Amino acid sequence: MNLARESIELVEQVARILWFEGTKHGLRDREWMALRFLSRANRFSRTPSALASYVGTTRGTASFIIGELERLGYIERKRSAKDKRSVMLSVTQQGKKFLARDPVNVLVDAIAVLDDEAKVRLRDALRHVLDQSDAAEQRHHTDVCKRCIFLREDRIIADGKTAAEFSCRLFRAPIAEPEVELLCTSFEHHRL
Ligand code: SF4
């Protein structure tokens, strides 16, 4: 029995839940993917071009998806305060509420009942697969900021206590502690 191949056969079938014909609760699969991504992305990745890269589509298709989500009131776009030409996308309260109906929640719930050790093993195995395929295909996947090669952590002493202070060496910007858990399309992992 080839365990690696058997695993991929299962992943293929899991993917059928992610990719479907038509709509579910009024959204197409890519629109769901975009909404899900925007609810988890950091401020550098909530842009039309980062969204296009994450969903794996052209800028034109991403623009159509953004327009549709905006029309339905699930996201809103704002001009960046620093650069008026760039646009920042955010999920509205209505969009956050709507995510409770996300078709992938059935997968999330199935994983949630595993014990913590099994969850960590599953996550790490999927990450290993992505890391390895990135190297083979010379690309990089989107992942959480805390694993990124560009994240810098400094220890500072304030009021007699030691605290962590984070910054991004790529964007040359401070990163708030909760942001290290968010997704970034510019993520790069440490290569061994
Ligand atoms: S440290 Fe990496 S993941 Fe975090 S914001 Fe910078 S490029 Fe993105």
Nearest to 145 by CA among 112, 101, 178: 178
State if residue 184 touches ligand 1 by the CB under 6 angstroms criterion. Answer: yes
Q: Is the minimum distance from the CB of 170 to ligand 1 under 6 angstroms?
A: yes
Same domain, 30 and 101: yes
pLDDT in tens, 75-94: 999 987 777 778 999 999 99
Nearest Cα neighbor of 151 from 178, 170, 130 is 170
Of the residues 52, 82, 113, which one is the last residue of a structural domain? 113
Ligand 1 atom with the shortest distance to the CA of 45: 8
Quick: pLDDT tens for 31-78. 999 999 999 999 999 999 999 999 999 999 999 999 999 999 999 999
Stretch (H or E) spanning 188: none
Residues 163 and 132 in one domain: yes
Q: Are residues 93 and 174 in the same domain?
A: no
Domain span holding position 167: 122-184
Domain count, the chain: 2
Mean pLDDT across 95-123? 97
Alpha carbons within 13 A on the beta-carbon side of 12: 6
Residue 192 lies in a domain: no
Q: Ligand 1 mean position to 16 CA, how many Å?
A: 31
Let me know whether 104 and 20 are in one domain. yes
Contacts of 91 (CB under 8 A, 6+ apart): 35, 38, 39, 74, 75, 99
CA of 186 to the centre of ligand 1 (A): 6
